[in-house]
Amino acid sequence: MFCPFASTGAEGAAVEGPQPPAPQPVPGSATGGRREPGRSAPPPPVMCSATMAALRAAVLAVLGLRLGCAAAAVPLVIWHGMGDTCCNPVSMGYIKKIVESRIPGIYVLSLKIGNNLIQDMENSFFMNANDQVREVCSQLAKDPHLKGGYNSMGFSQGGQFLRAVAQRCPSPPMLNLISIGGQHQGQYLQLNNTLHYLCVYGFPRCPGESSHICDWIRKMLDLGAYTQAVQEHLVQAEYWHDPLKEDDYRKNSIFLADINQERGINETYKKNLMALKKFVMVKFLNDTMVDPPISEWFGFYKSGQAKETIPLKETSLYTEDRLGLQEMDKAGKLVFLGVNGDHLHFSEEWFYTSILPFLQ
């Protein structure tokens, strides 16, 4: 917002304005402009109460506008992706820095799940997504900077997690939701390829299948993505969507199937999501991490096979309007952006031109 006022000075600084004219001698008077001996000077003119009230109102108006300019930047909440942390200087820390440099005075909260950065990273793999959402809802409710509303920006799995926040926790209100590479219809990789993708590309400090983390993931996946033990202890399984096992997915997915209304309609979820001003979804056009990439635009595979995909408008989620996405689309609230590059690969210039306008 452009503020037409310069920065304020010290509190109580006077506001300059027209001053009353100094008293002048009356022409032709006996004194000729000189005070007669023994007579006191006339009292100085008294500014009428109406003038004082007008000046006071003007001062308050100017101060109010200045304060309005300072408070105009809507706070921003950021949620990182898997294996990242709130404050990594080359990822979320850098995003926070460039947003603050382009929007002076903005309050940016980069979410940390846990007591330290190591816990934050580990929780992105092993803390139940529903528990993470509850933790974040609690953080947001206690933050006084957010009570008037906030924008949110989620990276990869942080995108669908923030959507869950929007659906489940309407106070404080989320205004705009920006999902950068979020998998809103879930992620699917055939099991024989899953370990390779997760261990080689997904896990930091995971050099290969000999890693203890990867060994643990292998054992969990061998049990089956939709078993209770895997669902409760492996975050990525909680948004695993197997198009070949739709019934298992709808019945046993403890996170994604719930927020996507797969087991019934929660009208509160629908109402809360529709309260967004804008829901921005960014798809990476050369994504090799997300399968299928169209999930980043709320599309997915046709049920029963894993080759042909369909866009959001052809899904039952849209045609039945279980989440209100059809109504939001007709109201111009859904924004679909594409960017060249692999998963989470984008330039500063693209970020400034494509994303920043939704934060201002």
- Per-residue pLDDT of 101-113, as tens digits, reads 999 999 999 999 9
The predicted structure's pLDDT at residue 51: 52
Point out the least confidently predicted range of 27-31, 47-51, 72-76, 291-295.
27-31
**Confidence band for 198, pLDDT divided at 50, 70 and 90:** low
Pick 36 or 286 by higher pLDDT. Answer: 286
User: What six digits make up the tokens of 341?
Assistant: 């590059």
| pLDDT at residue 59 is higher than 60 | no
Point out the least confidently predicted range of 191-200, 221-230, 349-358.
191-200
Note the helical H segments in the chain.
Answer: 49-70, 92-102, 117-126, 129-142, 157-168, 191-196, 212-223, 228-233, 246-252, 256-259, 267-274, 316-319, 325-330, 348-350
Residues that are catalytic: 156, 287, 343
**Confidence band for 348, pLDDT divided at 50, 70 and 90:** very high
Question: Whole-angstrom Cα distance, residue 245 to residue 52?
Answer: 77
Phi-psi region of 186 (alpha: psi -120 to 50; beta: other; left: phi over 0): left
The predicted structure's pLDDT at residue 74: 98
**269 Cβ neighbours under 8 A, 6+ residues apart:** 167, 168, 259, 261, 323
The predicted structure's pLDDT at residue 71: 54
> Per-residue b/e over 245-257, b at no fewer than 16 CB within 10 Å?
beebbeebbbbbb
Using DSSP, how many helices (H) and how many strands (E) does the chain show? 14, 8
| pLDDT at residue 87 is higher than 50 | yes
- Residue entry with tokens 């509160």: 268
| pLDDT at residue 60 is higher than 90 | no
